[in-house]
Amino acid sequence: VSRFEGITMAPPDPILGVSEAFRADTHEMKLNLGVGAYRTEELQPYVLNVVKKAENLMLERGENKEYLPIEGLAAFNKVTAELLFGADNPVIEQKRVATVQGLSGTGSLRLAAALIERYFPGAKVIISSPTWGNHKNIFNDARVPWSEYRYYDPKTVGLDFDGMISDIKAAPEGSFVLLHGCAHNPTGIDPTPEQWATIADVIEEKNHIPFFDVAYQGFASGSLDEDASSVRLFAARGMELLVAQSYSKNLGLYAERIGAINVLCSSADAATRVKSQLKRLARPMYSNPPVHGARVVANIVGSTALFNEWKEEMEMMAGRIKSVRQKLFDSLSGTDKSGKDWSFILKQIGMFSFTGLNTAQSDNMTNKWHVYMTKDGRISLAGLSSAKCEYLADAIIDSFH
């Protein structure tokens, strides 16, 4: 008797499944605006020059393939916390940050979810509505209850700040509040510095625990420091918090699966104990993380020349997205006669634009125009070239009407 016969087919992933459909499409005008992965103006994947330089140096050095410690490469853990908080941040020399290298952002979020499940029974996570498609899966599979706080306002195509604040206030005391550090996915709408201060006030008031997902540091504005300002504001208030990091986008290390979970604690002793429990959770999950990406990050940040070159390339990537945003806005405004206000395209930041297209309209984009995007109406501008903006504008205008 077959034991696996009863297993049903899983649905395609809302984001990664779009790329599979794109690859199957043979139409010459097809455009993949699904997965949040950077592409050049020629719509090709991009390996940063600084990554190639670091890898050549590593190859010459001839390094071994010994297991890393459960918590990952020490040199990486050091620089990743310094990049996030700032090397001169008191929390670093006070040794209050427990940092464990994770399997990129996803793995770091999942490890943090396992810590919450084990040490905060009954606590829940509140996540933005909408949020990154995989957040709900991660907390569901980690058996951590979650609910949503209002975030996107379709009327203004902006932030529903009042709704966000009242939902955070209404959450049970001691909830974990999942926040996108910068470049909110999928809306591309970030709180202003003043709004971040109010969000911090409310979280402090309710004894909630801030839990940042930082997957685009340096990629949103082009500046590593600017994109970390929300996290640093909360840290400066003396709050305990968690931060999941990823180097998939800002260093183009997607498939190397390099990231980290950072837990800022109130004392160095607590940080030591938290780190030991994160290790205890990681060992049975994947034992220890992959070494290559960790060495690439540590080597780049560890060398002034390479670090500066990385910053230049990050600005170049962020710059290309900003210019393609402007070009798309110009194409839409130039083509559309309905008088619709397209300025939201320019107000949004980071890799994505939340178009406001509904599921049926998104399907029209794909079925009629061969433009691949997620069903929530998100388009990844990283997959768009200036040359294709006119075509995309025609598709969007056609799909709206």
Residues that bind ligand KET (CB under 6 A): 15, 35-36, 104-106, 132, 134, 180, 185, 213, 215, 246, 248, 254, 259
Residue 145 DSSP one-character state: -
Phi, psi (rounded to 5 degrees) for 67: -55, 140
Whether 342 and 392 have beta carbons less than 8 Å apart is answered as no
Would you say 137 or 303 has its CB closer to ligand KET?
A: 137
The C-alpha atoms of residue 371 and residue 331 are separated, in whole angstroms, by 16
Residue from 53, 132, 310, 342 carrying the catalytic annotation: 132
Task: Tell which residue, 373, 329, 320, has the closest CA to residue 347.
Answer: 329
d(CA 35, CA 32): 8
Q: Are 27 and 371 in contact (CB under 8 A)?
A: no
Tell the smallest beta-carbon distance from residue 375 to ligand KET (Å). Answer: 13
State which residue, 229 or 333, has the beta carbon closest to ligand KET.
229
> Residue 175 and residue 139: Cα distance in Å, rounded?
14
DSSP string, 315-333: HHHHHHHHHHHHHHHHHHH
Least spacing, CB of residue 73 vs ligand KET, in Å: 17
Give the residue with the Cβ less far from ligand KET, 15 or 271: 15
Among the listed residues 53, 249, 275, 388, the single catalytic one is 249
- In angstroms, what CA-CA distances link 373 with 30, 43, 370, 377? 11, 15, 10, 7
Q: Which is nearer to ligand KET, 19 or 277 (by Cβ)?
A: 19
Cβ closer to ligand KET: 271 or 317?
Answer: 317
Q: Dihedral of the CA atoms 31, 51, 251, 265 (nearest 10)? A: 160
d(CA 398, CA 401): 6
- Residue 132 annotated as catalytic: yes
Look up tokens 């990283």; give the residue: 382
Catalytic, 249? Answer: yes
Burial of 292 (0-12, 13-18, 19+ CB in 10 A): middle
**Rounded to the nearest whole angstrom, what is the least distance from the CB of residue 110 to ligand KET in the complex?**
9
Q: List residues bridging with 127 in a β-sheet.
A: 148
CA 97/CA 241 separation, integer angstroms:
9
Residue tagged active-site, from 213, 227, 310, 375: 213
In angstroms, give the least distance from the CB of 139 to ligand KET: 13
Closest separation between CB of residue 106 and ligand KET, Å?
3
Nearer to ligand KET, 250 or 331 (CB): 250
Least distance to ligand KET from the beta carbon of 245, Å?
8
Catalytic residues: 132, 213, 249
